[in-house]
Amino acid sequence: MRLLVTGAGGMLGRAVVDAAARLGHDVRAPARGDLDITDAGGVRHALLEQRPGAVVNCAAYTDVDGAQSDRRSADAVNATGAGNVAAAAAQIGAFVVQVSTDYVFDGSKREPWLESDRVAPLGAYGASKLAGEQAVAAANPAHAIVRTAWLFGAGGRNFVDTMLALGAERDEVSVVIDQTGCPTWTGHLASALVELAQRPSQTGIHHLAAAGSCTWNELAIEVFARAGIDCRVLPTTSDVSPRPAQRPAYSVLGSEREQPLMLPSWRDGVAAYLATRVAI
């Protein structure tokens, strides 16, 4: 299958390109300079020229705190841009896979969030991604919207790399215990996104994150243990060092689909990612 990946230079986009190539697909991965998803005409031209059977939209404005003061930029990419990709895909009869986020929820539940649960983003980033979901659904009936969470992987800023850097410099770090989610390795998610791109009948919303859950504090402990780093992880809470954007307290994603795609556990993801870092 010919698969076009937007945002191919980002952390998730790179992993999707690698996974698709490994599985033998004809992958098209235009650089940002060649495909700006905020340019509707440019997106239409690119898709008409490439004629993919499916598009995985990994292009995103991901600065959660920055979105609070720059909502226009977040909306341009996450909402308008996503709609542009979906509309152009519809023009050529291509299936579109849109990557979204757990931040569309307010974190008030204490059991996994399901696809049909009420959305209520706490900040501008989540609101922009929710607007993107709506734009995609309106522009192209042949769509899958994939909500995922707490991504880490090669090629982008992420919590695991931050902890590894801090652990190499310090004897102890303080990490919050009042936020719970599903840390998801891009390598695991990417393979699932490519698989979903080959299932045009699987339309609608999908929750797709690593199995199991933990706090950021527990994730840091796991990272140090796996990496053999002697660094104590102290508990703290998010109100000690408030950030511009409020984070959902509980971001665990579950699925009510009859046969949902499943990812390995978050611990397996940490181990696999660390193994790739060692190999490099």
Number of neighbouring beta carbons within 10 Å of residue 254? 17
SS (H, E, C) 61-123: CCCCCHHHHCHHHHHHHHHHHHHHHHHHHHHCCCEEEEEEEHHHCCCCCCCCECCCCCCCCCC
The burial class, CB within 10 Å (0-12 / 13-18 / 19+), for 101 is buried
- Tokens coding 270: 């940490």
C-alpha 36/C-alpha 181 separation (Å) is 31
C-alpha 76/C-alpha 73 separation (Å) is 5
C-alpha 89/C-alpha 87 separation (Å) is 5
C-alpha 219/C-alpha 266 separation (Å) is 9
Active site residues: 125
